[in-house]
Amino acid sequence: MKNIKFTGSIPAIITPFKKNGGLDLEALKRLVKYQIDGGVDAIVACGSTGEAATLEDSEYVSVIKTVIEIASGKIPVIAGAGSNDTKKAIHFSLLAKKAGADGLLHVTPFYNKPTTSGLIAHYSAIAKVTKMPIILYNVPGRTGSNVLPAAILKIAKEVPEVIAVKEASGSINQMMEILKGGLTVLSGDDSLTLPLIAVGGHGCISVVCNEAPKLFSDMVHAGLDGNLEKARKFHYQLWELMNINFIESNPIPVKTALSMMGMIEESFRLPLTLMDEKNRPALQKILKDLKLI
């Protein structure tokens, strides 16, 4: 297993599509370069923000390879590979490994709500085959099941390849319980990144980083360096953008913003659709205020 620590500012990068629905790999290259120039510490490709559920296997591999092409030798690349079918999770993980990914992000199985023993068996099966570092992703709002700290720590103890958790429960108390157990904790909510860092957290797998990588990375790095006053300043600069990114289902607002910024075409795959017209003026104003457009 690669000896890598995943900490700091980590964008969950969007997947750009052309108007005809195909992948826009040139836009993806530009976006990855924008992230690296902004000072990010790693990149997650093909997560939920990257509309991974809509990608064919060949597209999934193309996205990961394209991100690695630009990021190689600079920052690690983590591939989202989650599924609620362990066999499929292993399949995606092996595709990511062959493509050259440095680590895997695995959401806890959704809809079928496994027990703790089922989760241990799931992650153990993935780890046994891939021998890659794994970030467990707890996001009750999408999976319908909140994996509690005791269970997360038990999984990490039983499966050493699970080296970190992306925590999107929205509960700082829950995150602190995991931190007490010694596991690396990354925020899954942009707006909770600084509060988490203040109590010992290690960074964030971020949406807002797509639009504002330098501001977000500056906030994370200042916080991790112990300069909370400086970090707080960046936090409140980004506050409105963090919030409006979730006025509709992610990644609708962030992709709309990147389109307004001239970085990608405004294109989604069903079941996601274009942003509601009534929400666009507020998003545009926030981007202008931040001098992103």
Where are the chain's structural domains? 8-225
- Is-catalytic flag, 137? yes
Please give the mean pLDDT across all residues of the chain.
97
Residue 62: CB partners within 8 Å, gap ≥ 6? 23, 25
Region 63-71 average pLDDT? 99
pLDDT at 17: 99
Class of residue 277 by CB neighbours under 10 A (exposed 0-12, middle 13-18, buried 19+) = exposed
pLDDT at 2: 61
pLDDT at 1: 58
Instruction: State both tokens at 158.
Output: 């039983």
Question: How far apart are alpha carbons 286 and 108 in whole angstroms?
Answer: 34
Residues 18, 137, 214, 285: which is the catalytic one?
137
Q: Is the pLDDT of residue 3 over 80?
A: no
Q: Is 108 annotated as a binding residue?
A: no
Q: Is 49 annotated as a binding residue?
A: yes
Q: What is the 3-class SS of the chain, one letter each residue? A: CCCCCCCEEEEECCCCECCCCCECHHHHHHHHHHHHHCCCCCEEECCCCCCHHHCCHHHHHHHHHHHHHHHCCCCCEEEECCCCCHHHHHHHHHHHHHHCCCEEEEECCCCCCCCHHHHHHHHHHHHHHHCCCEEEEECHHHHCCCCCHHHHHHHHHHCCCEEEEEECCCCHHHHHHHHHCCCEEEECCHHHHHHHHHCCCCEEEECHHHCCHHHHHHHHHHHHCCCHHHHHHHHHHHHHHHHHCCCCCCCHHHHHHHHHCCCCCCCCCCCCCCCCHHHHHHHHHHHHHCCCC
Question: How far apart are alpha carbons 36 and 203 in whole angstroms?
Answer: 16
The CATH number of 8-225, from 3.20.20.70, 3.50.50.60, 3.20.20.10, 1.10.357.10, is 3.20.20.70
Question: How far apart are alpha carbons 69 and 100 in whole angstroms?
Answer: 10
Question: How far apart are alpha carbons 258 and 279 in whole angstroms?
Answer: 15
- Is-catalytic flag, 123? no
Region 155-180 average pLDDT? 97
Q: What percent of the chain has pLDDT over 90?
A: 96
Question: How far apart are alpha carbons 130 and 105 in whole angstroms?
Answer: 13
Question: How far apart are alpha carbons 5 and 37 in whole angstroms?
Answer: 21
pLDDT band for 72, please (50, 70, 90 cuts).
Answer: very high
pLDDT at 37: 98
Residues 166, 233, 255, 288: which is the catalytic one?
166
pLDDT at 139: 95
Q: How many CB atoms lie within 10 A of CB 117?
A: 11
The per-residue pLDDT for range 221-279, each reduced to its tens digit, is 999 999 999 999 999 999 999 999 999 999 999 999 999 999 999 999 999 999 999 99
Region 86-102 average pLDDT? 98
Distance of CA 94 to the CA centre of its chain: 19
Q: Is the pLDDT of residue 4 over 80?
A: no
Q: Is the pLDDT of residue 165 over 80?
A: yes
Q: How many CB atoms lie within 10 A of CB 92?
A: 24
pLDDT at 123: 98
Region 122-128 average pLDDT? 98
Region 79-98 average pLDDT? 98
